[in-house]
Structure 1
Amino acid sequence: MPAPRSRSSAAERAIRAAGERLTAPRAAVLQTLLAARQALTHHEIEQALASRLAVDRVTVYRVLDWLVSLGLAHRIAGEDRTWRFLATHGEAHATHAHFMCSRCGRTVCLDEVAVPPAVKVPRGFEPSHVELNVKGVCAACR
């Protein structure tokens, strides 16, 4: 499924505004993430790209790290210790919750779930990131 053009255009503008180049591998990985309905592992992204572009494993890792550094994607650690990646969809996406299926590993964003902007931590500690993961069984595994 192709990514909606408006989301793709916004991401491309952000890349240009950062003074970066949108190479063929970068564009292909970005389009794959924008079109995904759930978080994808590195391996799933490689498989999705295999039929349209020859990209080696290291390049995919580098592109994913690059997209995360630009704020165009985020990564979620699965229970299986495998990173999963999702495209970031605007400012509201900065802090949000995820649902993680404990059977198949499917991970989706829960944009409607409010994550507290501040968490009380012990004196002298400073939080830098809040993650909220809801674990259970997805509809396909039920």
Structure 2
Amino acid sequence: MPENKKDNSMCIHCNYSQLLEDAGLPATPNRLRVLEIIGNNSFPLSVADIHETLERSCPVNRTTVYRILDLLVEKQVVARIATGGRAAYYGMAPNEQHQAHPHFYCTQCGRMDCLTPETVNIDFHAFENTFPGRIDKFEVRLDGICRNCLKKRE
């Protein structure tokens, strides 16, 4: 199983100010910092991870982080990735720099990793042709136990 491979999730090419502008949002310092934290990681992050990283450089209220994330998800700048429970992780939404891709969620330690787009092959065209509606979001998540947790069991 994957272990934090560097892939299309880590972004050195994104212009975060431009992404916000394209979404019709002012590029506030906190929004930019949240995007930089998400975009500069090679795996999706929890709200706690994002908040903790923000707090290292400048205090910010956790509610503010939730509001920023909700807005960025609404404007499709950031993707909310479900874990199957109440928790969620956040990564960059698909765009020119970020191809849509599946994720692996470790049900033991709670870590989420990005997989390469080729990991799971789904014929979207055949699905769209047979589905009687409009598809706004498609998310693929594989659940299991990561390599590190398996090693700990041995």
Q: TM-score, normalised by structure 1?
A: 0.79
In the alignment, structure 1 segments of 5+ residues that lack a partner are none
Which amino acid is 2:30 matched to?
A: P
Q: Taking every aligned residue pair, what percent have the same amino acid on both sides?
A: 29
Distance 1:17 1:125, change over 3 A: closer
Determine the structure 1 residue equivalent to 2:107: 102
Q: 2: distance between equivalents of 1:18 and 1:104?
A: 34
Determine the structure 1 residue equivalent to 2:57: 52
Determine the structure 2 residue equivalent to 1:131: 139
Structure number with higher relative contact order (C-alpha < 8 Å, ≥ 6 residues apart): 2
1:15-47 deviation line (CA, Å, top 9, x unaligned): 223332111111111111011222111111111
1:34-90 deviation line (CA, Å, top 9, x unaligned): 112221111111111111121111110111112112222101111332011112352
Q: In the TM superposition, what is the alpha-carbon distance from 1:93 to its structure 2 partner?
A: 4.9
Contact 1:101/1:135, CA 8 A, preserved across alignment: yes
Q: 2: distance between equivalents of 1:4 and 1:84?
A: 17
Deviates more, 1:92-101 or 1:72-81: 92-101
Which amino acid is 2:146 matched to?
A: C
What is the SS of the residue equivalent to 1:74?
strand
Mapping 1:1-142, distance limit 5 Å: 4-7=11-14, 9=15, 11-91=16-96, 93=98, 95-110=100-115, 111-113=117-119, 114-117=121-124, 118=127, 120-121=130-131, 127-142=135-150
Contact 1:97/1:115, CA 8 A, preserved across alignment: no
What is the SS of the residue equivalent to 1:63?
helix
In the alignment, structure 2 segments of 5+ residues that lack a partner are 1-9
